[in-house]
Amino acid sequence: MSWGHAVSSDLLHWEELPVALPEENGVMIFTGSVVVDAANSSGFCAGGKACLVAVWTGFTAKTASKPSLQTQNIAYSNDRGRSWTKYRGNPVLNLNLEDFRDPKVFWSRQAKRWVMAVSLPNDHKILMYGSGNLKQWKRLSEFGPAGATGGQWECPELFEVPLDGKVETRWVLKVGINPGAAGGGSGEQYFVGHFNGEQFQNDNPSSTTLWTDYGKDCYCALTFGNLPEEDAPLMLGWMSNWQYARDTPTTPFRGQMTLARKLALRTTPDGIRLFQQPVDSLAKLREARMPVEEKMVGTGHQFEFVSTVPMGTAQEAGWKLLAKDGTYTAIGYDRQRGTLFVDRTHSGNVGFNKDFPAKTEAPLKLIGNAFHLRAIVDRNSLEVFADDGRVTITNLVFAPADADTLEFYAKGGKAGVVSGSLWKLKSAWKSK
């Protein structure tokens, strides 16, 4: 198990590079993060220039005489990540635990030191450590348990986000949970609060659970650090679920990523909430705009559409996409339950794992008796952003190759006239 590597100038077109950090000497490379060491605090940087330092969990499998072990390790690069040297003094943090993983490291302006958020999965805790040089680490604080605790906590992310687009900010602590997520299996929750360079303070009651995504297929999402201050925080997730990740009917690849997403915090009637939208560069792939009609044949399997659906008197309304001869994936709103849903139980190939066919749903309050959707379909994936990104639902689907119809439907009453736009999308692999 090793770290792959890809680079991009727009978070849309990616160039794969050779493996960055290979598994060696029986130590697998688990999740972690990379920082820019601008001041050479680590002593690894050469030529008076900044270098990159990777911090990751090393996993050593159990033997007949020893249990498994997870430790935190570092490596450095002086050529923009094209080649890496593992630190001879690894591990830099070892609690002699079987479950202790996924370090997110960043520079704290408040404390003027590096901060690491790392998970104690079985205790439902995130530990905070501080360091001046990325080599020696001192424990600062801990957070948790809180929110959802039905499975192991892992893949923590701690990052600062502008509030309501203004100078004021809040901190977001995102935590993966497996199993026990909103859609079943693996998923992610987040906490909104303050961070003083040492401790994260949750602004909500510990019983409050907020989900980053209500689908089954967005997990262990990681943010990009060191961005220009005027840019929105960006996040990229793994698009699968540990319930069936090993069984998905894909070849020659195994696993894929979501679109990169812009993040924002906004004040809502329910409190401060995380909003997500695809990166702006997605528009580069759009072909000619088409107005949305109640039935559109020939959409293909790569398209984006936005729509406003007035519910009227309907109890349920929505869209059936990738549809053909009884096969379809539905995006709809259930008025009685007050939920937006994605139903993939009829989406095509659903029989490869018992946990795959599912209807995932998210609470959504209607605005003016209508709901607003933005959805991106990319062959075997569906990413839905509702209410301007207040709710996201990400799901894999495996539809027949000729299932290329988009059709509106309503139940239990009559819906209003739908409106919107649809764009077929060019391949990111062919258009630069």
The stretch 89-93 carries a mean pLDDT of 98
C-alpha distances out from residue 302 to 254, 375, 404, Å: 20, 11, 10
Rounded Cα–Cα distance for residues 373 and 4 (Å): 34
**Residue 228 clears pLDDT 90, i.e. is over it:** no
Rounded Cα–Cα distance for residues 177 and 189 (Å): 7
The stretch 121-141 carries a mean pLDDT of 98
The stretch 220-243 carries a mean pLDDT of 94
The stretch 78-83 carries a mean pLDDT of 97
Confidence tier at 412 by pLDDT (50, 70, 90)? very high
**Predicted confidence (pLDDT) per residue in 338-348, tens digit:** 999 999 999 99
- The confidence score (pLDDT) of residue 380 equals 96
Give me the count of residues in the chain: 432
**Residue 432 clears pLDDT 60, i.e. is over it:** no
Q: Does residue 411 sit in helix, strand or coil?
A: strand
- The confidence score (pLDDT) of residue 273 equals 98
User: Which domains occur in the chain, in start order?
Assistant: 1-103 (no CATH), 144-278 (2.115.10.20), 284-425 (2.60.120.560)
- Please state the pTM of the whole predicted model: 0.96
**Residue 29 clears pLDDT 70, i.e. is over it:** yes
Structure tokens at 357: 């066919």
- The confidence score (pLDDT) of residue 28 equals 98
Structure tokens at 396: 């894999």
155 closest CA partner among 182, 134, 186: 186
Rounded Cα–Cα distance for residues 344 and 113 (Å): 46
Rounded Cα–Cα distance for residues 255 and 239 (Å): 7
Rounded Cα–Cα distance for residues 400 and 140 (Å): 52
**Residue 30 clears pLDDT 70, i.e. is over it:** yes
- The confidence score (pLDDT) of residue 302 equals 97
The stretch 261-288 carries a mean pLDDT of 97
- The confidence score (pLDDT) of residue 99 equals 98
- The confidence score (pLDDT) of residue 367 equals 87
Mean pLDDT of the chain: 97
Structure tokens at 282: 């997605």
**Do 187 and 154 form a contact (C-beta atoms < 8 A)?**
no
**Do 329 and 342 form a contact (C-beta atoms < 8 A)?**
yes
**Predicted confidence (pLDDT) per residue in 31-59, tens digit:** 999 999 999 999 999 999 999 999 999 99
- The confidence score (pLDDT) of residue 430 equals 75
- The confidence score (pLDDT) of residue 257 equals 96
Rounded Cα–Cα distance for residues 20 and 84 (Å): 7
Q: Does residue 385 sit in helix, strand or coil?
A: strand
The stretch 91-100 carries a mean pLDDT of 98
Rounded Cα–Cα distance for residues 319 and 253 (Å): 30
The stretch 123-138 carries a mean pLDDT of 98
Confidence tier at 317 by pLDDT (50, 70, 90)? very high
- The confidence score (pLDDT) of residue 431 equals 56
**Predicted confidence (pLDDT) per residue in 217-227, tens digit:** 999 999 998 89
